[in-house]
Amino acid sequence: MNVQTEPKRSKEELIEKLTQPDLITGSEILLRSLLLEGVDCVFGYPGGAVLYIYDAMHGFDDFNHLLTRHEQGAIHAADGYARSTGKVGVCIATSGPGATNLVTGIATAYMDSVPLVVITGNVATNFIGTDAFQEADITGITMPITKHSYLVRDVNDLPRIIHEAFHIANTGRKGPVLIDIPKDVSAHKTIFKPVTEVSIRGYNPTVQPNKLQVDKLLKAIEEAERPVIIAGGGVVYADASAELIEFVNATQVPVATTLLGLSGFPSAHELWLGMPGMHGTYTANTALQNADLIISIGSRFDDRVTMNLNGFAPKVKTIAHIDVDPAEIGKNVKTDIPCVGDVKAVLAYANTKARSAKSAAWIAELQVMKEKFPLKYDQTENELKPQFVVEMISETTKGEAIITTDVGQHQMWAAQFYRFKNPRSIVTSGGLGTMGFGFPSAIGAQMGNPDKLVVSINGDGGVQMCAQELAICAINNIPVKVVIINNQVLGMVRQWQEIIYDNRFSHIDLAGSPDFVKLAEAYGVKGLRAKTKEEARRVWQEALDTPGPVVVEFVVPKGENVFPMVKAGDTISDMIMGDSE
């Protein structure tokens, strides 16, 4: 059947249409305002309190909404969209349970500084505070995990609030902003007046650095003999990867990238040391423990990086910290040179004056260390190892894919063995460690990057927290390649119980999990399985050659552990090296 469709409007024509001073409802104001903010996809799930909003979507062809199968799927998809594109992710849910189902996703984004605008419905204003059906104080519930929140009581405030929300979410230290819209406000009408200016008293993030502080840092670098950079997610979020590469080349300071910072500095660079911390490389951890200067760039000295602070970097003379959030500087580690400002702006200025450290001997020493203590694992021909799977994915995609992960052992193997080339190519829950995040975040990443390959690496535990979202991949032909590393247990919990709790294994058996191939097929998605290296290579190539979504299950041993590992309470010098020890 040949369906004639109306020609797509130009951007200018669409803006002209959207900005007309029409008498419209709050729901229509919301949709118009989102489009004027440049939103091209909203993830959501309807319910009673947002029915006026969803009614306004009916026949509104310029507005793109993706119906997920759970509110948590919606917010994780919005999160993956935001991390992979640098734009603000948007999701919508109804009041009460719809709103509270978003809480984990809001906390996930807040911990990792991801810009989201979260829109919830609420009961009508005259019912607020009466314990009405499906009422929840979502602004109160989420106060500790949002940058800001709004309860809209007047439809005339809606254009301003939406514009402010996007500004707050995507400036300074980025993060989620919540807009709670009572049902009657979404129905009230007013003349639409778009808002383009923003002025928020008390909110004025520092972007440009104090140049004297940056000069002090550059002097410290010139005098340093054993400097190390810890590059975190702030490098990626500031779109400062090019500036960091230029800075490193000029200063000759080696770089360790945190979990969230992994794609901010290319893995192939000769001065890359790997990831530091609990499951960091021997070289990255040893470098930090012997450094005389540590420069944190967009990293917050997280406890999984520093481990026991009493034994962290015992030989360091100077610690510098570049961060857009002044509250992070000195919070966990005493800072000698604070540089508050946007990472991109700080490095851009620093690159005008940067000179090399006295680091030639140090770099040579670290290169020898990298060769002597590489990441490795015990390879056998009759077993399919999870590390091999990640290496295979890295080699076949040439590091060009967007990789999303869930949380657990597979997440650490992805961080260790995938070689990232491009910024925003890893999407993972770092600070909160949210199981169920990996697959829906890949849907958002794919929607934001339709021309890129998106691979979601999951464990058999976390994928079951969100497997229902396979439906929307099938219906909308979203071509995510869903990898399941199936070891039939809660792997990271099992590893801790083995190493820390003397092999007292408690409630980790996932043997009753579904047949993942049949589960995929039940949703109308191709499912594949591999148990050997030969099968792994064959089915993975088949997945890559298949247009549309594919689920690939790799069956791996239960007892495989992530090494190196530093136990909680130990210093990063106390690495358990596993097979290479």
Distance CA 435, CA 408 (A): 8
Annotated catalytic residue within 71, 243, 553, 560: 71
The answer to whether the beta carbons of residues 513 and 485 sit under 8 Å apart is no
Distance CA 175, CA 88 (A): 9
Active site annotation includes 133: yes
Active site annotation includes 134: yes
Distance CA 22, CA 96 (A): 32
Annotated catalytic residue within 492, 497, 533, 560: 492
Distance CA 79, CA 102 (A): 11
For the chain, the C-alpha Rg in angstroms (whole number) is 25
Distance CA 327, CA 70 (A): 35
Distance CA 224, CA 216 (A): 12
Residue with tokens 């980790």: 508
The answer to whether the beta carbons of residues 572 and 288 sit under 8 Å apart is yes
Active site annotation includes 6: no
C-alpha distances out from residue 76 to 92, 107, 461, Å: 12, 11, 17
Annotated catalytic residue within 133, 353, 395, 505: 133
The answer to whether the beta carbons of residues 397 and 453 sit under 8 Å apart is yes
Q: In what order do the strands lie in the sheet with 426-427?
A: 426-427, 402-405, 454-459, 481-486, 550-555, 526-530
The answer to whether the beta carbons of residues 343 and 360 sit under 8 Å apart is no
Active site annotation includes 301: no
Distance CA 146, CA 156 (A): 24
Q: Is the peptide bond before 254 cis (omega within 30 degrees of 0)?
A: no
Annotated catalytic residue within 60, 127, 134, 373: 134
Bridge pairing between strands 272-274 and 255-257: parallel
Considering only CA atoms, which of 225, 210, 212 is closest in space to residue 318? 225
Annotated catalytic residue within 87, 147, 174, 183: 183
Report residue 178: phi and psi, to 5°: -110, 135
Q: Give catalytic residues, as residue numbers.
A: 71, 133-134, 183, 492
